[in-house]
Amino acid sequence: MTDFRVLVSDKLADEGVDILREYCNVDVKTGLSEEELIEIIGEYEGLLVRSGTQVTANVLAAAEKLKFIGRAGAGVDNIDLDAATEKGIIVANAPSGNTLAACEHTLAMMMSLSRNIPQATASVKAGEWKRSQFMGVELNNKVLGIVGFGRIGQELAKRANALEMRCVAYDPYINRERATELGVEVCTLDELFPQADFITVHTPLVKETRHLINKDSIAQMKTGVRIINCARGGIIDEEALADAIEEGKIAGAALDVYENEPPEGQRIVALPQVITTPHLGASTVEAQQNVAVSVAKQCIDVLEGGSARFVVNAPMVPLDQQDRIEPYARLAQKMGKLLIQLIDGRIESVEIEYGGKAADFGRNTKYITRLALKGMLDPILQEPVNIVNAEFAATERGIRVSESITTESKGFTNIMTITMKTDSMQESVSGNVSSADKIRIVAIGDYMTDMTPGGDVVISRHRDVPGVIGQFATIIGTYDVNIAGMQVGRNQPGQEAIMVLNVDAAVPQEAMDKIVKIDGVSTARYAHI
C-alpha cells in the first residue's frame, strides 16, 4: 500500500475502485462543483472521472500533485487536455471498454425510434389503446448512414448488416479496406445525406463536427429521415433539428446526448417524435466494469512511474510495436541525458536523426523523440518532464525540435543521432540498438565509441600526444575513483582525440578542475547517465 491519494469524482464500478484501494488511498466523492473540486484536488496524485466531472483549466491550476487523470470511458471532451499537457499530467481513457454498450444502445434507440416504443409504452401505461397512432417503419432494406466510422460505427455496421440494412459511411480518416470487409459503402457527406433513411453520428465532438447536422445539411436529407445521436451533444444543432421535426422534414430523432446535459427545458426534448435517454450509452454492467478496471490499472502504472496504455495527450505507440520501440526509447533518453552534460550555452535546437531500421518507425519516432527530450530536460528543469509535456517544455524555452530520417546508417542496422546546438557550440551523440537489452553509444561527435550508457563517465577531448592519458588517470586515482573501462578514439595520430572513461563513482569537481588544466586537454566532462 502506497501513500498516493486518488480521487474518484464520478460513479465508477467497484471492480476498478477495489483494485486501486489495494494500492493506495482512494476517496470517492461524486457530484462536486468546480469550486469544491478546486478546493480538494491539490491533495491528490490521481483523478478518475466519467463525463460528469468537468476537469477545467481552473481545476488543473490547483492540482499541484496530480500526475494522472483517468477517463473511465471514451470521450475526453470534459477534460482540458492542453492545460493537463502543459502541467505534464498524463490523461488516459478506456476507449474500447464501452464500445459494444454504446453500439447496442444505438441499435436499441434506432429500433425504438422506428417503432415508437417509448411513446407507445407511455400511452399504454396512461390507460390508452391507440394502435393506429404508433405506426412504425421497418429497418429491413433501409439505408443507414453512419457518420464517423470508428469503433462504435464499425460495430454498428456489423449488426445493421444482420438486419439487412444497407450501410453507407462517411469518415475523413476511414479505413477503406475495413469498410469493404464489412460490406459498407464509403461516401461523402453530400452523398450520404440524400440517400439515408436513418442517420447515426459516431464522431467525437471537435471543431469540425460541431453542428455537423445543421439547417443546411438537413435540407439535403430525404423527407422522413430519422436521426440518432448516441455520440456527443453538439454534433447536432438541436434548434435546427427541432425546426425540421416540426416542419415534417425529419420523422423523428433518438437522443442519448445533448448540447446541455441535463437538457432541462429544451424544446427538442419536449417533441413527441423525439425519444430520449439520459446519456446511457455506456451504462451496462459489463462496460462499466471494463472501463473502471482499465483506468484503475493505468492509474497504478503511472503512479508507479510508468506510462499508461491509452494516453490521449501524448504520442501513442501501437501495442504491436511497443516491445520493438522500447529499447530505442530507453537509449534516446540516455543519449539526451549524456548530451546535456556535454554542452555549454543556451540550447537553440535539437535534431534527432533516425537512420537505417530506426527510420522504419514512421510517426512513432515522436514517442522516442519525446523521451530523448525528457532525458535532456529532466536534469536542467525544476518541474518534472515526461512523455506528455517534453515537447511543450522544450518549445516553451525556445528550443527548436526537429526529426529527420535517413537511409544512411554508418554501417549499423539502425542508428539514432541527436545533435544539439547552443549559442556557443554544437555536439552530437549517436546510438544503436543491437538487441532488446543491448543499447550502445556508438559515436560522440565524429568519434566512434562503443559504450554501454549508464553509470558514471568522464568524457574528454584532448590532443593525441604521449602523457595526457597518464596524467588523467593519476588525478582520478588520487581522488580514490576507480577506472572501470577506457576507450580512446581519434581520427588522425597527433590530432584531437576523444576519451571515454567509465568510472566506479562520481568524480569530484575539484578533480575535474585539475583535469581540464592538463596540457593538451581541451574539454573534460564528468557525467552520470
Ligand X SMILES: NC(=O)c1ccc[n+]([C@@H]2O[C@H](COP(=O)([O-])OP(=O)(O)OC[C@H]3O[C@@H](n4cnc5c(N)ncnc54)[C@H](O)[C@@H]3O)[C@@H](O)[C@H]2O)c1
Using CB under 6 A, list all residues that contact ligand X: 74-75, 95, 98-99, 102, 147-153, 170-173, 202-204, 208-209, 230-232, 256-257, 279, 281-282
Q: Which does 68 bind (CB under 5 to 8 A by kind): ligand 3PG, ligand X, none?
A: none
Residue 445 CB, nearest approach to ligand X (Å): 45
Measured from the CB atom, is 52 or 455 closer to ligand 3PG?
52
Q: What crossing angle do the helices spanning 285-303 and 99-115 adopt, rounded to 10°?
A: 150
Residue 154 CB, nearest approach to ligand X (Å): 8
Measured from the CB atom, is 105 or 334 closer to ligand X?
105
417: contact with ligand 3PG by CB under 6 A: no
Q: Which does 172 bind (CB under 5 to 8 A by kind): ligand 3PG, ligand X, none?
A: ligand X
DSSP category for residue 321 = G
Catalytic position from the list 261, 286, 383, 396: 261
* Residue 259 · residue 241 · CB < 8 Å: no
Residue 11 CB, nearest approach to ligand 3PG (Å): 9
Q: Is 324 a catalytic residue?
A: no
Q: Which does 99 bind (CB under 5 to 8 A by kind): ligand 3PG, ligand X, none?
A: ligand X
Q: Report the alpha-carbon distance of residue 331 to residue 439 in Å, rounded.
A: 6
Q: Report the alpha-carbon distance of residue 234 to residue 240 in Å, rounded.
A: 12
Distances (CA, A) of 301 to 46, 68, 245: 11, 10, 49
Measured from the CB atom, is 146 or 347 closer to ligand 3PG?
146
Measured from the CB atom, is 72 or 338 closer to ligand X?
72
Measured from the CB atom, is 129 or 173 closer to ligand X?
173
Residue 207 CB, nearest approach to ligand X (Å): 9
Instruction: Tell me the number of residues near ligand 3PG by CB under 6 A.
Output: 12
Q: What is the DSSP string of 205-255?
A: --TTTTTSB-HHHHHHSPTTEEEEE-S-TTSB-HHHHHHHHHHTSEEEEEE
What does the block give as the cell for 463?
590532443
Q: Report the alpha-carbon distance of residue 102 to residue 281 in Å, rounded.
A: 4
Q: Report the alpha-carbon distance of residue 299 to residue 312 in Å, rounded.
A: 14
Nearest to 450 by CA among 482, 486, 419: 486
Q: Report the alpha-carbon distance of residue 19 to residue 296 in Å, rounded.
A: 7
Measured from the CB atom, is 252 or 281 closer to ligand X?
281
What string marks each residue from 276 to 305 as x (binds ligand 3PG by CB under 6 A) or -?
A: ---x-xxx----------------------
Residue 54 CB, nearest approach to ligand X (Å): 15
Residue of closest CB approach to ligand X: 150
Q: How many CA atoms, within 13 angstroms, populate the side-chain half-sphere of residue 345? A: 13
Nearest to 412 by CA among 453, 358, 360: 358
What does the block give as the cell for 416?
539514432
Residue 78 CB, nearest approach to ligand 3PG (Å): 8
What phi and psi values does residue 499 have, to the nearest 5 degrees? -130, 135
Residue 214 CB, nearest approach to ligand X (Å): 13
50: contact with ligand 3PG by CB under 6 A: yes
**Interface pick for ligand 3PG out of 16, 46, 70, 75 (rule CB under 6 A):** 75
Q: Report the alpha-carbon distance of residue 438 to residue 486 in Å, rounded.
A: 19
Q: Report the alpha-carbon distance of residue 339 to residue 335 in Å, rounded.
A: 6
Q: Which does 50 bind (CB under 5 to 8 A by kind): ligand 3PG, ligand X, none?
A: ligand 3PG
Measured from the CB atom, is 279 or 334 closer to ligand 3PG?
279
Residue of closest CB approach to ligand 3PG: 73
DSSP category for residue 343 = -
Catalytic position from the list 50, 202, 232, 370: 232
Q: Which does 202 bind (CB under 5 to 8 A by kind): ligand 3PG, ligand X, none?
A: ligand X
Q: Which does 314 bind (CB under 5 to 8 A by kind): ligand 3PG, ligand X, none?
A: none
Sequence-separated (6 or more) residues with CB below 8 Å from residue 24? 1, 2, 3, 4, 5, 6, 45, 46, 300, 303
For the segment 220-249, give every residue that binds ligand 3PG (CB under 6 A).
Answer: none
Distance of CA 163 to the CA centre of its chain: 36
At position 10, the amino acid (one-letter code) is: D
* Residue 281 · residue 256 · CB < 8 Å: yes
Please choose, out of 167-175, 187-195, 275-283, 455-463, the segment that lies near ligand 3PG by the rule CB under 6 A. Answer: 275-283
98: contact with ligand 3PG by CB under 6 A: yes
Q: Is 528 a catalytic residue?
A: no
Measured from the CB atom, is 122 or 206 closer to ligand X?
206
51: contact with ligand 3PG by CB under 6 A: yes
- Catalytic residue positions, numbered: 232, 261, 279
Binding site for ligand 3PG (CB under 6 A): 50-52, 72-75, 98, 279, 281-283
